[in-house]
Structures are given as structure tokens and as C-alpha cells.
Amino acid sequence: MANKNIRSLSYRKGLEDNLLENITDLSKSDSSKEDFQDLAKRFLIDDSVVAGTASFYDFTRKENRNKKVHVCSGTACMVAKSQDNVNKLLEGHFKKEEIGHAACVGHCHTNAAFMFDDKTYSASTKEDIKNIVVNNISSSTVENSYYVDCNTTPILTTDINNIKEFYSLADKFKSKQKEAIEEIKVSNIRGRGGAGFPYWIKLDTVSKEVNNQKYIVCNADEGDPGAYSDMYLMEQQPHKVLFGMYMSGLTTGADTGVLYIRGEYPDSIRKINNAIEELKELGIAQDFKFKIIRGQGAYICGEETALLNSIEGLRPEVRVRPPYPAQYGLYGKPTVLSNVETFANIHWILNNGGKAYADLGTEKSSGTKLVSLDSFFNRPGMYEIEMGTTLQTVFDEFGKGFRLDIKAVQIGGPLGGIVPTQKFEDLTVDFESFGENNFLLGHASVVSIPKDFPMIQFLEHLMEFTADESCGKCY
């Protein structure tokens, strides 16, 4: 009941005067205790609510406010053993207490990763570090680039030639909401965030809710170490994501879309914001408002209800369900909440028909899936793979095999499972194959475990990560 009341008070200010953003601004300026208390008074909430939120996140905690650079502590960088060198090189330019950590900055394909001055880099030499920190120069060796390829009909990896023409598809369905939902139902697209829930059910449920305010929320808090598929879509295919949100709004009666993007992806935030400004300049989607909320460093915010709490300025803890977000979501309003990759598929489905999408992949896992390969592959990168493709094929034909001997891979993040090499031929890239073998496909992120890396150390890392990132509800 207390959270419901606080949620209602936060809703009074809404997204324009957002509580989380206010807390973030005060934290970044290292404001006084009195400033935080004044914020609480302005929102008519207790001091403890603001203090509880500010003390939760990596980037807003008092002990972390003096950090000037954040070194990646993600699993891919950890197994690559690149980060001790990065720390040592950065100590030549910063005091030890000025160097913090970030759970993963999406450079799993190159490692030696860190975040500085609201940008992310990979650099492992003294000269490159100096160029970044002192001379503000990014050479080609530290740019975030990687291979991109596809083994089937490309849906997520094709370029958009004409933005106005691309968005004109929405006009076809503006008065045909039921037809749009039916096409998505026929496509059998399931959520790409990990759970694999049928997306059409969310749209159908929210469309039937009677409420003056509904929301579309994009979960872009890609926290699984090893995953950078959402980063790829936001930075290289932003309009596919935005169209999916806009179209979801048209079919359900929602006029506002919120993108919750992890703070460790500053380039993604900039590129999505640029795409939104481009829509405004072109006069596209003028009946729909987009809002970016920047995450402040918390893996738990990848869970949908914790993410909603976070946007509202509450401590990001998992809500009890039911009610589900479709009935009681952001600020207690009906909300369609889905993943970046799910939204990015919507244009292709509506443009080509649900059956064409369903014809790709398997009977229960239709379409394609982005697979992130880490730096232990000879060709690390982002690959759009048809569901049902064998894991061994992905590794051999797209990753071009491993550059070092490995004994297993972790797929789907810290909770996804560790797949030994002898299981590669048994698994196919789809929800059922992984589930039947007691694994989890998740984001389809692949982190390699070298033969000489101690498994006990790897498991200790996973336990430390989950303990540090838990919201406290995993009793």
C-alpha cells in the first residue's frame, strides 16, 4: 500500500519532472543531505524513499560519486584477464579512489573496456589510454566496432534507406488495430528479453484496458554480461526500435513510450535521442511522445517490475504479481513492457505479414535471434541467426571457431547456465532446445570459458555478481 501511495505521488510530477532523474542529478552534483530532503518535500514523500533509491544504484551511491572512470567488471572481460592491465594503466592518470567499476559496458567482443567522460572504450596500451584520457582522441583501435552478419532472411540487420517511407507503414494500421495485433499473433513472436512470452498477448490485454493513460515501455537495461544485441539495435538500428514502440502505442491506445536505457551505454542513449530528434524534425509520429530514462547501474532493473519501480523513483525491487504490468504497470497504468529486440521485429512482421515471420525458425520459436559472440571467437560479433540453427553452426560458420582452447561457454547471462563443449552439437538456437536441456537462451549472449580458467573462480564471480546486484527479494 505504501508503494502505491508513493507511486501516485510520483505520478503527479510524471515523466517531465521525473523523481529518478531528480535523484540522479542531486547525486551527480554530490548535493547535501538537505537537498535530498527538499526533493522529498517537493514530491510530498518521506526522506527515506529518496535515500533508499539514491543508496541503491552503483552510480548514485554516496561512496561512488567521486568516481571519474569506471572499469568494466563484466564476465567477458574477467575471463579475458584484461582488466588488471586497464586498471594499472588508468592509475597513471587517476587516483585509486577515483576509479570505479561498471558491471558491463558492452565491449565483450574486444575486452579491456572502461567508461570515461560519458563514453565507452576498449584500450590496452599506455598510448591509447593517454590519447583517450589526456588528448581526447579515439583511434580506430578503441572504437566500438564488430562483425555483423545474418544466416537467413535479414530482419534486424538490414539498413533503412528512407525514414519517412519506413514509418509510413504505421498509417496503414492506424485504424486497423485489431488487424495489427492479429498479424503479430500469427507471427508467433515471443519476447526476446529471455522469458519468451508471446508478445501479442501483451498488446491484446492492454488494448482492452479502459484507462485515459497507457504506456509503452522498452526494457533496454541489457545487463547480462556478454550481451550487446540491444546495444547494436539502439546504435545501428534505432528507428526499428522506435517504430515498434510507436506501432505498439497505436494498437493499444498508448500515447507515450519510455526507453529505459542502462547508464553503461551512453552511446546508445545519444543515438536513440538523435533518432527521436530526427522524427521531430521530419514531423513523424507527432501523436506519440518518447522519453529516455537513464539507468544508474543495477542489474535487477532488467526485471520488468523492478524497472517500472525504478522509472517511478522507487527503490527498484521486484513487485508481487499479479497484477501484471498490462493491467497495473508504470504509475499503476496499463503498460506494454517488452525488450529492445522484440520491438525491432514489429515493422518487418507488419510489412511482410505474420505468416512470413512464422515460416522462419521453428514451430514454437519463430523468426530470428541476435547472438552476441565474445572475443574468444576468431570472428567476434553480432549475428542474426534463424531460430532452430545449431549452436555448433553459429560457432563454426560465423564465429569461425575459437582462437584458444575452451571448455565451456556461458549463454544467457549469469542465470543462464554453463554449456560444456560436448553439448554444442545437441543445442539449437531456440527456447525449447535450451529449456529441454536445462539451459536458458536469454539474450543469446556467449561468454567463453578458457580451458586454463578455474571453474571455481568463475562460479565465485557469478555468485559475487548476483549477490551484489540482488534487490533483496531473492530470499
Read off the pLDDT band of 2 (50, 70, 90): low
**Does pLDDT of 434 surpass 60?**
yes
pLDDT on residue 293 = 98
- Contacts made by residues 414-421, CB under 8 angstroms, sequence distance 24+: 414/75, 414/224, 414/225, 414/462, 414/465, 414/466, 415/440, 415/442, 415/466, 416/224, 416/440, 416/441, 416/442, 416/445, 418/449, 418/458, 419/391
What is the pTM assigned to this prediction? Answer: 0.96
384/348 Cα distance (integer angstroms)? 14
pLDDT over 70, % of the chain: 97
**Does pLDDT of 41 surpass 90?**
yes
**Does pLDDT of 33 surpass 60?**
yes
pLDDT on residue 252 = 98
Residue 424's identity, in one-letter code, is: F
pLDDT on residue 466 = 83
136/357 Cα distance (integer angstroms)? 45
Read off the pLDDT band of 475 (50, 70, 90): very low
180/56 Cα distance (integer angstroms)? 40
Mean pLDDT of the chain: 94
Among the ranges given (29-33, 150-154, 254-258, 398-402), the one the predictor scored with the smallest mean pLDDT: 29-33
**Does pLDDT of 143 surpass 70?**
no
Mean pLDDT confidence for 101-130: 93
132/333 Cα distance (integer angstroms)? 44
- 313 burial type by CB count under 10 A (0-12 exposed, 13-18 middle, 19+ buried): buried
DSSP for 418-447 reads EEEGGGGGG-BSSHHHHHHTT---TT-EEE
pLDDT tens for each residue of 313-339? 999 999 988 999 999 999 999 999 999
pLDDT on residue 138 = 63
CB 386 within 8 A of CB 404: no
pLDDT on residue 142 = 53
174/180 Cα distance (integer angstroms)? 9
* Position with higher pLDDT, 223 vs 282: 282
